Chains A and B, each alone.
Chain A
Amino acid sequence: QVQLQQWGAGLLKPSETLSLTCAVYGGSFSDYYWSWIRQPPGKGLEWIGEINNSGSTNFSPSLKSRVSISVDTSQKQFTLNLSSVTAADTAVYYCATASDTTIVNWGQGILVTVSS
């Protein structure tokens, strides 16, 4: 059973860079895509992007210019960076595993607030 544990700064100022890391426990690290998803308060879920074991990435077109995702296979961790944040980036951020067509396992989520 795959479990995901995520951490990172929960309070940012506008223009700063959001950085969250997710550690993977259990399962085979190479079997999945490693994804990030977010949910602004009172709004729906939004897929941010993913990376696979070989470093190949896919990003949401609306966030592509500000997003990067990296993976450390030795540590079984992957990291989301989102630059130039604004209040609109305030959300609960989830890390997750995915197959080609399904998001399978989710982390517990972390609230990131952007406020001056």
Chain B
Amino acid sequence: QSALTQPRSVSGSPGQSVTISCTGTSSDVGGYNYVSWYQQHPAKAPKLMIYDVNKRPSGVPDRFSGSKSGNTASLTISGLQAEDEADYFCCSYAGDYTLFVFGTGTKVTVL
């Protein structure tokens, strides 16, 4: 199972929106509505931001939203804030053998 493809970096000014893509195959992203997104600040544990493509856990701001089309999932951060600067990675359920496959990770920079 190959890693999901994400852009290495994206950037935006405070208040702007940024979108991170996560491209897989029909065996993972395209095959299941079980894509999740995580935020990781340096030296911190990853934090679940989106699950089941577009659901937010309690406490996650509604500035974070998820979507999926075909084999590509996306995370959009609207109204970018300084504290959103972090690494983000996606994860997809991939079936009965390799249960989870991860994205390559994207660094979000707030200009």
Contact = CB atoms under 8 A, between A and B. Distances in A.
A103 B97 contact: no
Interface residues of B, number: 24
Tier of interface size on chain A: 20 to 34
A61 interface: yes
Given A61-B98, A102-B52, A44 B104 contact: yes
A104 B48 CA distance: 6
B105 A60 contact: no
Contact of B44 (A61, A103, A108): A108
B98 A47 contact: yes
Nearest to B57: A104
B48 to A, nearest CB: 6
Contact of B45 (A45, A60, A98, A108): A108
Contacts of A107: 45
A103 B36 contact: yes
Give chain A's interface secondary structure class: strand
B99 A50 contact: yes
B89 interface: yes
A44 B3 contact: yes
A47 B102 contact: yes
Interface of A: 4, 35, 37, 44-47, 50, 58, 60-61, 94, 98, 101-109
8 contacts: A37-B102, A44-B103, A47-B99, A50-B99, A60-B98, A101-B34, A102-B52, A106-B46
